[in-house]
Structures are given as C-alpha cells and as structure tokens.
Structure 1
Amino acid sequence: MDTMRERFASVTSRLLDEDPRLAVVLAEIGKDGFTDAAQRHPERVVNVGIREQLLVGVGGGLALTGLRPIMHTFASFLVERPFEQVKLDFGHQGVGGVLVSAGGSYDWPSGGFTHMAPGDVGLLDTLDGWTVHVPGHPDEAEILLRQAAAAGDDKVYVRLSVQANEAPRPVDGARFRTLREGRQGVVVAVGPMLDPVLAATEGLDVTVLYATTVRPFDAETLRAATGAAGEADVVTVEPYHAGTSTRFVNEALLDRSHRVLGLGVSRQELRRYGQLDEHLAGHGLDPHSLRERITGFLGR
C-alpha cells in the first residue's frame, strides 16, 4: 500500500493535468514527487526553497489571481512556522487554498521536535472558516484531496500521516460515520486512530464514530449517537493534542448533561524520540492504554 503522501503526489499531479486553475507550491520538501508535473506545468508547480513563510505567501498571491493553490510541506512548517501568513494571506485577504501537510504529530521521531506538530489543528481552530480533513487511509486521502481541490475558494487543511488504518472507509468530507452502536457511551475516533480504537473497544457496549472531517464538527451525528435523554459520556481520540475537540463536543451537547474525555497527544514533549509506536504508547494511544482509559472513564 502506498502512503498518504505518495498518493497526494500522484493524485495532485493528475489534477494539475485536469484543472488549469490548480497550482502547487512547495518548499523543497516533496519536490521529487512532482518532477514530471513540473515539466508539464512549469508555471503552476512552484518550489520556493526552504522558505516556509514564502510558501504560504506565494500561495496567497496565486489565490488573489484566481488560481487554487495547493501548498505542501511538513505540518510544523506549513501551519506553525508561517501561521501569520496563513492568518493574513488567506483569512484576512478572504481567499481560499489547500494546505496539505505531512509528518503529523510525530511521524518522523528522529527528526526531533522541530518536525512534530501536535498543535496544528488547535492552532487553525483560532481562525475562522477552515475545513479540516484527517484521513485514516490513502484511499480516503485521495477522496478528500479531490474534494479540497474542487472546493471553490474554501480554505481547507488536509492532514496526512504515515499512520494509517488497515482498510479504508467511505468518506464524504462532512459527516462522521457510525461503525458500532452501543449504550454505555460514544467514542469518536479521528483518522488513523480508528484501528487502535476498534481494538481497544472490542466487546464494549459503546458506539464508535469515525471522523475524517473534523472541522466543521459534525454535531448532528454526535447528538444522534448520544440519544435524546439521560447523561451522555463521550470520548474523543485524536492524533493531535488531547482535548482539541472538547469545546466542540460541549457545544454540541450544551443542552444535555454530559461528560467528555479528550484523549490524544499530551503537551509534554517526549525527548527520547524512539520510534512511532513508542510515541503512541508514550501518549497512551496504543490499544491497551486506550482500553484502560476508556473503561476507567465509562465505569464512573
């Protein structure tokens, strides 16, 4: 199976052939995936070098000319480092574009904390109007990338990761998908957290919702899953900072008695970088740890 990032390069290269409005902006990282596309469309594949603020600035400028820019690099260099440009060159200017990240929260542990971005979605939550997709499989990433490219002038962030679920699920770029139904609580698994959540909740009387589009937050499906009466218990399991979506759960259930447990990446930096699976365990996101935390919460 190819990775989400490999799928991004192949799909976007084809989209450049199909849609003359699209342009790709790179900051050195990922350029090899667009070698052929750059030869075919030299005016619409731009590599600005290791200048991430310029990456977003150029994307904003292209958007002002009527193009649909797709900007790509590691999440820490795409959202965190050039955040001012994201805020001003897109939000303030009132134009749209597509940010496509790689690296996730800790996909490349040996790269160190400079290449980790567990706060990216929370940072975008401070801005208005961003759609955020978090696919859990390359097939899902392709569908969401195609939607993002064709999404008029919307502002879209597509968060790619080397973490992936074994099998894809149908995605529509809007709604959560109900994979299990139960009576003792609701667990919302985001993107690549689905397989660990399914393993952790095996045999438990809980509803499992699968979220690949987290902004806008699908309050309607969550409300339906919690039922109309009684106290609702909700657990969110996200591949970025723990509790990032807690506010949205609270808003969705404002008129109901409820409790929320937000699981995800902790704020504490793990300085012994190790391997990806060690980071998952270190943040309590492996199936064993998730089961203990979920059952402890639901056991009241």
Structure 2
Amino acid sequence: MTSTAATAPRAATSAANLRDQFVITTSELIRTDPDVAVVLAEITAAQFGPVAAEHPERVINVGIREQLLVSAGAGLALAGLKPIVHSFGAFVIERAWEQVKLDFGHQDLDGVLVGAYGSYDWPAGGRTHQAPGDVALLDTLRDWTIHVPGHPAELDRQLRRSVRGGGRAYIRVGDGQNPEPHLEDGLVPIRRGRRGTIVAVGPTLHKTLAAVADLDVTVLYASTVRPFDGATLRRTLAAPNVIMVEPYLAGTSAAEIARVLADLPHRQLGIGVGDPDQHRYGEPADHDRLHGLDPAGIRISIDRFLEWS
C-alpha cells in the first residue's frame, strides 16, 4: 500500500450526532486513502456496510473479540496501514487494556482508537457497557492524544488529523453534544470572569454554560484534553480557583492542573462521574442528575466551591 491518498479529501457530510459523523468521516477516509482501515467488533458494523462492500479488505469485523480487535489494529499498523479501531469505550479501552498498553503503547505504533457511548450513554447496557474510567486509564501511558469532541464537526476534524498526522490517539464519542462546534486548537475561551476559571470538557459545555449564566467566571472549552493546554489556562487565570467539568471520572485531570499551576497557590475542584457502581439504569439524563452533571448539579458544586474563595 502507498501512503498517498487516492483522491483529494473533501469536506464530510454533516451528521446529526457524533456516532453518525464517525461513520461518515471514516467511510470517506477509507474511500480516499488506500492505507486507512477500520477494525470493528460487531459494534457499528451494519453502518459500515456500504463502504465494506466497496473495500472489504479494509473494513474488518473480528466479531465479539475485543482483545483481537486491538491486536488486529496493531498488526495493520505494523504492516504500514493507518488503523482506526472502534467499539464501546468500555471494550476498546478497558476490556482490551493489555493490548492497548502493549500492542500499541509498548511497540510504539500509530493508530486511532474510537470509543463510543462514553460514561453511561447506554444505561440499559449496565455497568459492562459504561466507561467512566477510560481517560484515567490512558493517563497511565505516555504519548496518547485524547480527544473528547462535543460536536460532529469537531469529531470530523479530530479524526482526520489523527489519521493523517500519525501518533496514538483516542477519540471519546458519547455523553451528548453541544449545539455549536469550536474548531480552534487548545483551550478555547468562551467567556471571561473574575471569580474563577471553569474548564468544560467536550459535551459538558452547554450544561456548564447554563449552570453559570449569571456567575462572574471564566469558561474555557476543551475538546482535546491530552496534551493539556496549560499555557492558555495560565494566561487566562484571573483568580486561583480552577474547576474542571469532565464527562468521565471526577478528578481525572487533577494531576494536570496541579502540574500546570505547581508554582502558583491555587484551589481546584473536579466535577464529573462519582461512584460508577450506583447500580442504576434509567436514561442518560437520570445519570447526569445522579452524578451532578446536569446544570443544577454543576451549579450546586460550583457555588459550594466558590463560597470558600
């Protein structure tokens, strides 16, 4: 296989949600770049049917074998291809963790892992299908770029850049989305204030903005969380109060904040998924309320934190 795209890339069709956009963008990459392949483990296989009929050698469904899923992707990378490896985040990161760590990380191979359904985007699947700890796990490895898109246009951009730019990337798809995209690199300033800085990650932005509409705070938006854009955080820091609103385990980015602000006295709060073993089903909105990730819950946590500033 060559490394040159067969035809010039074109803008992807806009999708209504992140998972549909993943299929659209990946299908176009397969059609336009003969080195791109996607590896699936039944999840989303039906949606890839049209492009699989055109390029069956580069749309590979290994069945319900998630360890093989990741190892097959690493094998394609060893053969010089650009693999996109996809399943539920709970399967592609947690269930196949040893293969992620060794087959991609230890062998220093390039590839893109795409985990769907976020922390609890399909509550009916139960705890086996939930992955609030995926980003925290990847934080134990080196040299992974982690994207948490909050809009289909962001996912399209991140996936294209990840495939063409090389390196190891994880794209976390799930937990709702924001009404508008923000396509700038790094932390994006949304509004400025004096009492503290809130970093809203991916699909938490619209809920965070609703929660702080009348508060005098800075809001920064992050759709890429690793590497962490510490320079923008420091440049925009008006008060030594930092709040991370993340759609995964609360406190996942605490070490990043501490590292970036190590020479500055500061306080920080992590708002995110609390106890992941609540033994609850319901709908995603119910889990937002349970973990304080709905606008009301976010506001309560912020008010309590700022009371002591």
TM range (shorter): over 0.9
Look up the match of 1:19: 33
Look up the match of 1:209: 220
- Contact 2:175-2:284 at 8 Å conserved across structures: no
1:253 corresponds to which of 261, 264, 267: 261
State how far apart, in whole Å, the 2-side matches of 1:59 and 1:21 are: 13
Look up the match of 1:191: 202
2:124 corresponds to which of 107, 110, 123: 110
Look up the match of 2:287: 279
Deviation at 1:21, TM superposition (A): 1.2
- Contact 1:106-1:117 at 8 Å conserved across structures: yes
Look up the match of 1:80: 94
What is the DSSP-based 3-state SS (H/G/I as helix, E as strand, rest coil) of the residue aligned with 2:179?
A: coil
1:123 corresponds to which of 137, 144, 160: 137
Deviation at 1:42, TM superposition (A): 1.2
State how far apart, in whole Å, the 1-side matches of 2:307 and 2:235 are: 22
1:71-107 CA distance string (max 9 Å, x none):
0000000000000000100111111100011110000
1:167 corresponds to which of 171, 180, 183: 180
The alignment's TM-score, normalised by the length of structure 1, stands at 0.96
Distance change in 2, residues 1:268/1:8 (3 Å):
closer
- Contact 1:140-1:171 at 8 Å conserved across structures: no
Deviation at 1:162, TM superposition (A): 4.8
Deviation at 1:18, TM superposition (A): 1.0
Look up the match of 2:8: none
1:30 corresponds to which of 44, 56, 68: 44
State how far apart, in whole Å, the 2-side matches of 1:151 and 1:158 are: 14
Look up the match of 2:5: none
Look up the match of 2:274: 266
The alignment's TM-score, normalised by the length of structure 2, stands at 0.93
- Contact 1:281-1:289 at 8 Å conserved across structures: yes
1:40-60 CA distance string (max 9 Å, x none):
111111100000000000000
State how far apart, in whole Å, the 1-side matches of 2:26 and 2:270 are: 34
Ranges in structure 1 where 5+ consecutive residues have no aligned partner: none
Look up the match of 2:3: none
Bigger Cα displacement from structure 2, 187-196 vs 269-278: 269-278
Q: How many residues align?
A: 294
Deviation at 1:171, TM superposition (A): 3.4
Q: What fraction of aligned residue pairs are identical, expressed as a percent?
A: 53
Amino acid at match of 1:82: A
State how far apart, in whole Å, the 2-side matches of 1:268 and 1:53 are: 23
CA RMSD of aligned residues (A): 1.0
Deviation at 1:268, TM superposition (A): 4.1
